[in-house]
Structure 1
């Protein structure tokens, strides 16, 4: 088999085995037979001059260095194939078709659905693909059409609109404070149930750089999921930091130390400049800017 005989199916099989760790699981994920997956892997190995892509271990199939080297290229092909399908879902000048949006966990799960519901009600021929992840999507590789980011994009080929700063604050439910008492100072927090991280993240490092001394042992509930932290605050498990706009105007919650415990996340809506002429993507981009601006105003001054 030569290079010209390679197809997208071979890369799909490679990615599926890489993600699932077995031929049978990869076959189930793609809806094909196990021999088909095995044949695709063998054909890829043949093109590479016989270099093995996976080795067997008690845990399943483990990717070799050769497989790891192929991953960026296979992921780029996957993103391009998905982008091609989205492009074919509707003409550029129509308000119909798919738009893929990526955003942080909290924004993607707690904020964007209501904004997308409004857009969908006005334009029912639109379809949305929502990726809620704190991993930064590569818009140049077309992992998504639009991204909501908490850092300024650095790539020059992107259209980026800064919509402001999302405020973070410290909150607790009133019934928790009724049980445990309201801390009068930051030092009093040591006697309370605090909600925070399990492993240090770049977000934690950013808060520490702003003067907040955070370490794992101070938390009685530890999770690296921002959504889980917020859900635990909302459930009354203890005191934690979350986006002000989520609960600032809910009477069940009290904001603690608004002077000392306030932080901000700059927020950008971005898309690839090549998509500026796509009517549906531009419409969704503008609606996201408007909706997220209103969301920020909810928390402003709370």
Structure 2
């Protein structure tokens, strides 16, 4: 056991946490056959069976359950060492991983990345476009842009100016169906929403728009896909105002309506925040997001 290969342990732990070989392989950026070979090698090293296949699912054996607890502790210790080492880095170069929702990744980050490239050409920015909250503690990302405040004490969160959300539709769509003048006029137009839109519907109802859940014509969990549906003229929907800037062929609906606001938090791990390259990117992101989200007028 003293000569075990840590890569094999990582493969085992990722499979336990992700629940399947394919998901674990994606997490570790390996091919599935490579991951399978690493787990088989670990089983040979230890002389035990770690997983049993039940139908299409993998289930831990009793021995695998016992080992998983120990490997989690080892993984947590390795993460702490990695965080501490990264946090002490004085180089203003290297990779910085930013995670944010897909529409921000596509519509907001590119111009910010251009500015960062000019300020620190040695930094490589890796964008993780995800609507899920990635675990900064597990180093899935270095910096996160979130719309909820994190609760973990190990994380530093800095609140940016709130995002403003408005209603938008394609010009050609409005030319065809007519432009709503009052909130009640919106009831006749197809709305593009999300699978779970209760809070959004409540916000729109409070602004006089008589929208009900069963009236949503198009639904998608991806903000970026919804934005494309809006731009393609499928109906009207919401979007962050900073993501709409300089978008041709799209108009605001009821522009005088009070915008929906969403808090915006910039988050990093405490130890990573002492890294010069992380700090540089963190501060540049804050400055740019603050500039973009200043109230107009």
Give the 5 Å matches for 1:23-102.
29=31, 32=34, 34-40=36-42, 46=48, 53-57=51-55, 60-64=56-60, 70=68, 77=75, 84=82, 92-102=89-99
**Mean Cα displacement is larger for which, 31-40 or 216-225?**
31-40
**Mean Cα displacement is larger for which, 115-124 or 75-84?**
75-84
Residues in 1 aligned to 2:184 and 2:47: alpha-carbon distance in whole angstroms: 61
Residues in 2 aligned to 1:145 and 1:259: alpha-carbon distance in whole angstroms: 38
Preserved CA contact (<8 Å) 1:195 1:222: yes
Shift of 1:205: 4.0
Q: Equivalent residue for 1:210?
A: 203
Shift of 1:236: 2.1
Q: Equivalent residue for 1:181?
A: 178
Give a deviation string over 1:96-122, Cα, whole Å, max 9, x none: 112121112222232112212221233
2:266 partner SS: strand
**If the length of structure 1 is used for normalisation, what is the TM-score?**
0.77
Residues in 2 aligned to 1:287 and 1:140: alpha-carbon distance in whole angstroms: 22
Q: Equivalent residue for 1:281?
A: 278
Residues in 1 aligned to 2:168 and 2:20: alpha-carbon distance in whole angstroms: 38
Residues 109 and 126 of structure 1, relative CA distance in 2, 3 Å threshold? same
Q: Equivalent residue for 2:239?
A: 242
**If the length of structure 2 is used for normalisation, what is the TM-score?**
0.78
Give a deviation string over 1:4-31, Cα, whole Å, max 9, x none: 8463323325535844459999997167
**Mean Cα displacement is larger for which, 34-43 or 127-136?**
34-43
Give a deviation string over 1:43-67, Cα, whole Å, max 9, x none: 6793xxx6x534242xx34345977
Residues in 1 aligned to 2:77 and 2:125: alpha-carbon distance in whole angstroms: 16
Q: Which has the higher contact order (CA 8 A, sep 6+)?
A: 2
Residues 80 and 144 of structure 1, relative CA distance in 2, 3 Å threshold? farther
Shift of 1:284: 0.5
1:276 partner SS: helix
Q: 1:112 aligns with which of 109, 112, 117?
A: 109
**Mean Cα displacement is larger for which, 238-247 or 107-116?**
107-116
Preserved CA contact (<8 Å) 2:165 2:239: yes
Residues in 2 aligned to 1:81 and 1:246: alpha-carbon distance in whole angstroms: 35
Structure 2: runs of 5 or more not aligned: none
1:210 partner SS: helix
Preserved CA contact (<8 Å) 2:13 2:71: no
Shift of 1:217: 2.9
Preserved CA contact (<8 Å) 1:79 1:143: no
Tell me the matched-pair count: 288
Residues 41 and 239 of structure 1, relative CA distance in 2, 3 Å threshold? farther
Matched, 1:8 2:10: no
1:144 partner SS: coil
